[in-house]
Each structure stands twice: as C-alpha cells, then as structure tokens.
Amino acid sequence: MTALSILNLVPEPGRISGGQILFKNRDVVSMTSSELHEYRGGDVAMIFQDPMTSLNPVLRVGFQIEEAMRAHSRFDKRQAKARVIPLLERVRIPSPKQRARDFPFQFSGGMRQRAMIAMGLANEPSLLIADEPTTALDVTVQAQILELLKELNRELGTAIILISHNVAVISSLCTRVMVMYAGRIVESGPTRQVFEHPEHPYTWSLLRSVPRVDERRHERLISIQGMPPDLSRLPTGCTFHPRCQFKVERCLREEPPLEEVAADQEARCWVLMRNVSKESQAART
C-alpha cells in the first residue's frame, strides 16, 4: 500500500490523507494528472508478485514492452522498436528475437517476471518498486531474479524498493531496511545493523520466527502470538503491544515515536531490545 501511495495509485475510495511524497524534490501528491502520467512508468516503475495478471494475455510480449515506451515521451517510435530486443537481452531472456514474438502464456513464471522487469526498465526509470517479485517463484528461479535485480542496481544505478515478507530476500538484496507493522514504520536502518541488532521487538521476533537454512542446531522458533490487527480498529498505544512479549505499562497508553537508537538506526519502541536482558530474551524462545 505504501508503494501504491508512492505512485499515487491508491485505489478508490482510499486516498492519501496527508503528508508529502517527494520525488526528486517534486511532491507526488500534488502532481497534475499529466505530470503523474510521466512520473508513473517513466521515472518510477513497479513490478508485481504475479506477472501473469499484470501482462496482457492477448498481446505479444515484445509489443507490450514497446507500448510501455510509446506511452511516454522519452523514446520515439523507431527508438522504442529498436530497444525491445536489447531490453529482453538485458534481463537475460534466451533467444530474445523469437521470444519477443511470444505471448505471455508461452513464458514460464520466471521469464514472465523477467519480461515485467524489462518493461519496468524500458523508460530508464530512476526508481524500481518491486512488490514481492519472487514470492510466486521457485527458489532456483528466485535466485536468478535476485541476481538480476542486484546487477541492474549495480550497473544501471536504478534505485530499488523491494517489498517482501521474506527476511532472507531482504538480507540478500537490500542495503537499508524499513520494517512496517500495521501501517507504521517500526524500525529502519542499514540491513546488516538492523538484522544483527534489532531494537524493536517485532523485528526481533520476526527474525527468529522463520527457520534459517543456516541454522546450526535445532532451535524452537519464536512464534508471534495472535494475528495482525484490524487496520480500522488499531489498538491504543503501541500498535504492536497486544502481541509483544516485552511490553511495559507505558506501551498500552502511549504510542512511541520513531527515534534514533543508533547511528542511522531508528525504532519506534519504549523498551528497545538492548534493554531486555539476555535471560529474559532466552525465556521467550
């Protein structure tokens, strides 16, 4: 949803009720519709979890990529046509000349995601928003897509916002991480720092709730009790307190602010994991 807001694509009847989204110092919320048009798909591109639903099943893949460019003014018709094959090549689609003439259903899941990425890159955006891009894919294909995204980030300098529930995928691709819970950022900072020293109990539990392939011995998983809250009836105080194992009395009354807890690291918590003794942390495992 945050990603949709960045694109100013919040579905009706929702709307962005306040605040600013600055992109290269322009406010996206107050853009006119023609400015928005250039911005979406031009400056910022988005790829989704399920590429099949975002590709038009009755149009050839090459044509759809060409169209993505024709919808914007960056490339003229000839350039657009000429760019299709190199783009498919760029995302490592084998024999791109033939493949450009295929329909989406002739592609495998991984290839469709590559085609989506090619379409996203068509207008040389400075930001790519990837919403769970590998969730529907097998691990070996996921590995390929992650490598591709890393490469694009390194070689084209495209900034990437990766939205994922998979902490390992975040660890693999992201330099910085923002942890969201019930519509709020509860922790943010450099990935390595946050993952090694999580300060918010939600981040801490999340990291210990998933089995790791690098697990040395069998440790019981931390299970976060209860369920995510109903966003229309948020709990008072800290929104995480009903599921939090380290809450204090204050958490029930006051919502903590997002504050700097270390260099570059911010967390929204009255307690902070550094203040929880190792013994009581262990008691929760």
Partner 1 sequence: MATVVPTALEMPEELQVVGAGEELPEQVTLWQDAWRRLTRNRMAVIGLFIIAIFVVTALVSFVWTPYPTWRQALGPTYQGPTLLHPFGLDDYGRDLLSRVMGGAAIALGVGVGASTLASTIGIVLGLVAGFYRGTIDWGISLLINISYGVPDLLIALILVVLIGRGIQNIILAISVTAWLGMARLVRGQTLALREREFVEAARSIGTKNLKILTRHILPNALGPIVVQATYLVPAAIIFEAFLSLLGLGIPPPAPSWGSMASEGYKALQIAPHIVLVPCLALSLTVLAFNWVGDGLRDAIDPRMRR
Partner 2 sequence: MKQQLEIVPSERVGPLVSVTDVYKYFPTGGGFGRGAAVKAVDGVTFDIAAGETLGLVGESGCGKSTLGRVIMQLQPATKGSVKFEGRELTKMRGNELRQVRQRMQIIFQDPYASLNPRMTVGDIVAEPLKNFGLGNKREREKRVQEVMKVCGLNPNFTNRYPHEFSGGQRQRIGIARALVLTPSLIVADEPISALDVSIQAQIVNLLEDLQNEFKLTYLFIAHDLSVVRHVSDRVAVMYLGKIVEVASSREVYDNPLHPYTKVLLSSIPYTDPELEAHRKPILLKGEIPSPINPPKGCRFHTRCPIAQFPICGEVEPPLEKKADGHVAACHFPGKL
Closest CA to 206 of 247, 178, 165: 165
Identify the sign of the CA torsion 182, 196, 129, 114.
negative
Q: How far apart are CA 264 and CA 190, in angstroms?
A: 7
- 172: partner contacted, choices partner 1, partner 2, none (Cβ within 5-8 A by kind): partner 2
Closest CA to 201 of 230, 250, 236, 239: 239
Q: Which is nearer to partner 1, 110 or 201 (CB)?
A: 201
- 23: partner contacted, choices partner 2, partner 1, none (Cβ within 5-8 A by kind): none
- Amino acid occupying residue 278: K
Q: Contact 240/218 with Cβ under 8 angstroms?
A: no
Using CB under 8 A, which of 214, 277, 278, 282 touches partner 2?
214
| Segment contacting partner 2 by CB under 8 A, of 3-11, 32-40, 115-123, 164-172 | 164-172
- 259: partner contacted, choices partner 1, partner 2, none (Cβ within 5-8 A by kind): none
Place of tokens 């639903």: 53
- 108: partner contacted, choices partner 2, partner 1, none (Cβ within 5-8 A by kind): partner 2
Q: Which is nearer to partner 1, 225 or 280 (CB)?
A: 225
Closest CA to 161 of 12, 11, 21: 21
Provide, rounded to whole angstroms, the least separation between the CB of residue 107 and partner 2. Answer: 10
* Residue 206 interacts with partner 2 (CB under 8 A): yes or no: yes
CA distance to 61, 177, 275, 276, per residue, from 279 (Å): 57, 28, 11, 8
By CB under 8 A, the count of residues binding partner 2 is 43
* Residue 54 interacts with partner 2 (CB under 8 A): yes or no: no
Q: Contact 145/162 with Cβ under 8 angstroms?
A: no
* Residue 110 interacts with partner 2 (CB under 8 A): yes or no: yes
Q: How far apart are CA 23 and CA 35, in angstroms?
A: 12
Strand, coil or helix: what is 130?
Answer: strand
The pattern of x and - marking residues 231 through 250 that bind partner 2 according to CB under 8 A reads ------------x-------
* Residue 165 interacts with partner 2 (CB under 8 A): yes or no: yes
Sequence-separated (6 or more) residues with CB below 8 Å from residue 110:
137, 138, 141, 144, 145
Token code pair at residue 67: 């169209």
| Segment contacting partner 2 by CB under 8 A, of 18-26, 117-125, 214-222, 272-280 | 214-222
Provide, rounded to whole angstroms, the least separation between the CB of residue 31 and partner 2. Answer: 34
Provide, rounded to whole angstroms, the least separation between the CB of residue 224 and partner 1. Answer: 11
Q: Which is nearer to partner 2, 22 or 227 (CB)?
A: 227
Q: Contact 84/65 with Cβ under 8 angstroms?
A: yes
Provide, rounded to whole angstroms, the least separation between the CB of residue 32 and partner 1. Answer: 34
Residues at the interface with partner 1 (CB under 8 A): 225-227
Sequence-separated (6 or more) residues with CB below 8 Å from residue 213:
168
Where does this chain bind partner 2 (CB under 8 A)? 94, 108, 110-111, 138-140, 142-144, 146-147, 165-169, 171-172, 191-192, 195-196, 205-207, 209-215, 218, 220-225, 227-228, 243
